Structure formats: structure tokens, C-alpha cells
Amino acid sequence: MKTAVIVTTYNRPDALAAVLEGYDAQLDRHFELLVADDGSTEETAAVVRDFAERGRFPLLHVWQEDRGCRPAAIRNRAIASTHADYIIFTDGDCVPSRHFVRIHKELAEPGFFLGANRLLLTADFTNRVLREQIPIHNWTLFQWVQSWARRDVNRLAPLLALPNGPFRKWAPHRWKGIKTCNLSVWRTDLIRVNGLDESNQGWALEDSDLVIRLLHAGIKHKNARFAAPVFHLWHPERDRRDLQENQQRLDDLLRSTTIRSAVGLDQHGTS
């Protein structure tokens, strides 16, 4: 199964470097990685070039012009730039555990998408991780317990490692709480729903939109929580000026049976 990891980023090269270090330390390195760049400056490109030269996995920089926050569009561009069978979505401020890729691949199953969870770092701890280049992707459970005791992280539950089993399919129609910072989908299913909807811009709900349309298409949710966490670096809250409009669009989608996005993968030659 050819696998691609799509990492979305925008002008945060220090965080992206920490994330790429996490992928360089993966126990399963049979994947390609695409940095889906929503218009960052040259500093981000330099980070990508550095890892492309020394990394242990194929790395591609997919860039689009900075015309405001357009994560759906850059993810679609990245999907169109790979022929991988299976796509793992995450963000450029989400450091993966060393087992992240391996677990997503092991839990992958035709007819299902995977949604997993995250552990949130505080602002002070995030700054220290980036400043001191602390390799949190290699941390032991004991180190995370110590961090939680210092209130550097919000919880420990995502670090629980539960095996595959029937309980992972107990909520096949779940969409709430599933985010593109930790989501994996078969490429054929992404093509079927025409990828992400680029009508969503700004503070968007493009991840919920995608998941709901996958459910409309008969693709079910499989729970990858307590198996494949990411460590989410703190960032300031983003501009929410577009949230009301995007929420109305999502409400309309929930009342419909729509499967394909209005503006999606077919804009990039993939259909």
C-alpha cells in the first residue's frame, strides 16, 4: 500500500522543522511526505529543502500563492500531486509519535476513514520545545507524565495504546471532533467525493465538510484514537470572521445528501 502524508503549513518554519524531525524518526518509513504550503515565504522553503536533502523519505513541497487562508485548496493540490493509495492528513504544528504512520497503515481498511486524536501543548512548553529543539517525538510515557504534572500538556489519555478491535467501529457515522490534523483516507474515496471543498476559506470547517460527505458516500468512520496521537504545538487563535458563513454551509450540508464538493479535486486535474 503506497502511503502519502500530507502536512499543511503556513509561515511557521520552526514548527514545521519539529514536525519533519518526527517523520524522520518514524519506525515505518515506507511513505512519501508532501508539505502542503498555503503561501509561506522562502524560510519555509529552505526548511523543506534541508529535509529533502537529508531525510529518509521522499519529500515534495507543494506551494500555492498566499491569497488568504485556503487550506482546502492546498490539500487538494497535494492530493493531486501524489499517486499514493492511502493519504494521511496532518498539520505543520502537529508532531507525530514514532508509531504514527505505522498505526494509520495497520488500522486502514477499505470502506473506512480513520480519525485520531491529539495532545495539546501549552504556549510556554511549545516555545521551549521549539527553542531547545526538544525531540518530543521520542519521549517515553514517563516523560509525558512528568510534563502533564507540570501542566505543560492538557491530558494523557491520547497516549494510551489500545489494539485494533471491534470497538473501533462502534461509531461508524461520527463526524464531530474529527479533524484534518489527524485523519487518513483512501485516495479512491477522496476522488469519489471530489476532495475537500475549496468554497471553505478562512476559519473554515473544511475537515467536517469532508468527513460528512464521506459518510454520505457510504464511507464509515473507524476510530484510531488511543493508537496514533499527534502532539499539537500551541498557536494563537486564528481569525474567525468567516466562521458564521462556513457554519451555515455545514448546516446545509448536514441536511443534504451531497457527496461531491462544489470546488474540489477536479479543479486540479484529478477526478
pLDDT digits (tens, 9 = 90+) for 67-115: 988 999 999 999 999 999 999 999 999 999 999 999 999 999 999 999 9
Domain count, the chain: 1
Residue 182's CATH number: 3.90.550.10
Select the more confidently predicted residue: 262 or 246: 262
Q: What's the confidence (pLDDT) of residue 205?
A: 85
Average pLDDT of span 160-165:
93
At residue 203 the predicted structure's pLDDT band, cuts being 50, 70 and 90, is: low
| Alpha-carbon gap, residue 72 to 144, rounded angstroms | 33
Identity at 175, one-letter amino acid code:
W
Print the domain residue range for 79.
Answer: 3-268
Instruction: Say what the pLDDT of residue 241 is.
Output: 66
